[in-house]
Amino acid sequence: MKKAYKVFITENARDDLRHIFSYIAENSISDAKIFVSELEKKINTLSTLPERASYIPENVFFGTDYRQLILRKYRVIYRIDKDEIFVLRVIQGSKLLEL
């Protein structure tokens, strides 16, 4: 039986999702709804096997152990803490994480 993790989305990550929605909605509300829904589904997959994703390159600079899931050109940045997952940010893949 797979271990189940509780997934928490931080306020920063929620703001990121709102900004992504607004940006895409400028051209198509339908596309914005679909894409943000895809992101949310991807985030929810973290409840099982969150270790499957790669570490972020910025860990070298920050001394962290954050991981990332990638969907198209966006990165879902998160950390694992025992049986909990904290989604910290959802950023464009070309941007570096800022602490």
Q: What is the pLDDT of residue 99?
A: 57
Nearest to 46 by CA among 85, 79, 81: 85
Sorted by where each begins, the domain ranges of the chain are 6-92
Are the C-beta atoms of residues 3 and 83 closer than 8 Å to each other?
A: yes
Looking only at the bridges linking them, the beta strands covering 67-71 and 54-55 are antiparallel
pLDDT in tens for each of the 99 residues of the chain?
Answer: 677 999 999 999 999 999 999 999 999 999 999 999 999 999 999 999 999 999 999 898 888 999 999 999 999 999 999 999 999 999 987 676 665
Q: What is the pLDDT of residue 96?
A: 65
pTM: 0.89
Q: What is the pLDDT of residue 61?
A: 87
Which two tokens mark 29? 């509300």
Q: What is the pLDDT of residue 60?
A: 87
The CATH superfamily label for domain 6-92 reads RelE-like (3.30.2310.20)
